[in-house]
Amino acid sequence: MKGARLPSGVYASTTQSPVLLLGAAHVVDLSVPLRRALAERVLDGVALELDPERAAALLPDARPSSGARTGAPLFARLWSLLQRRLGAQIGGGEAGAEMRVAFAVARDRQLPVFLIDDPIRQTLVRLVQTMPFKERVALLVGAFVGLFVPARVVEREMDRYTEAPEEFSAQLREASPTIARVLLDERNEHMADRLAALRGRGFGRIAVVVGDAHLPGLSAALSRRGIPVEAIPFRQLHRATGPSSGPT
């Protein structure tokens, strides 16, 4: 991009550029606004809320490392099944589509892709080991019940989340503080550390695609490390969804 005129709002210096956080819902099609948001930026790379194992399952050109284990813990299998079901019913979205879109944009622009999440197996083992029995039962029951919840109920809850994500986060922390700590807070800190390391290597102009629930905590974690942040939450991307991407 040397000598090129930069679009408005784009930072030419990696030391000035904020990390761009894009909040996604893993079962809602955000292809159009995600592509638009990524296309309008001068970027050094794209980071995804994935670990190598999940990337190998989701991304077309990813390959599992040698000796990669197959199969997954029960919670992970139930959650994957639930995401596929909801994705098929809510506007035709496909679970993990936002990661594939970001990966495709990075590939088309010849940008490096960074996987910044903790290994899924280690995270789930830690979750189960530290979770009180009551929370563990509630999580398992909730996963099973979610398989049979009508799509209209899920859509209504998605609309509620879009309008008041902070309220949902507060409810999660009250209902299951262990889930909030292990699946949100700890991962946010680890992802912030990895993004800070990337910034130190010269990848300052970086776009990060994460689940929307991570945006407040990850933004705060980066700010504590002295890294400026620009966040585009799910509700903003969702409202910008073009008609070609289907109702969501």
What pLDDT was estimated at residue 54? 84
Q: Is the dihedral of CA 100, 112, 209, 178 positive or negative?
A: positive
Alpha helices by DSSP H, listed for the chain, are 31-39, 52-58, 74-89, 97-108, 120-130, 133-146, 151-163, 165-175, 177-179, 187-200, 215-224, 234-239
Measured between its terminal Cα atoms, the distance across the chain in Å is: 36
Structure-token pair, residue 171: 């409810």
Q: Between β-strands 206-211 and 45-48, what pairing exists: parallel, antiparallel or unpaired?
A: parallel
pLDDT for the residue 191: 97
- The DSSP secondary structure of 97-113, one letter per residue, reads HHHHHHHHHHHHTT--E
pTM for the structure as a whole: 0.74
Q: Are 55 and 68 in contact (CB under 8 A)?
A: no
Along the chain (248 residues), what's the average pLDDT of each consecutive run of 10 residues?
34 68 82 89 93 83 44 48 45 71 92 93 85 73 49 54 68 83 94 95 94 94 96 87 41
Place of tokens 């290994």: 119
Residue at 25: amino acid letter: A
Q: How confident is the model at residue 55, as a pLDDT?
A: 87
> In this structure, what DSSP letter does residue 130 have?
H
Whole-Å CA distances, 21 to 6, 25, 228: 20, 13, 11
pLDDT reported for residue 64: 40
Task: Supply the pLDDT for residue 140.
Answer: 62
Q: Taking Cα atoms as reference points, which of 75, 96, 93 lies closest to residue 142?
A: 75
Do 113 and 197 contact (CB within 8 A), yes or no?
no
pLDDT at 210: 95
Provide the pLDDT for residue 172: 75
User: Which pLDDT score is estimated for 222?
Assistant: 97
Quick one: pLDDT at residue 216?
93
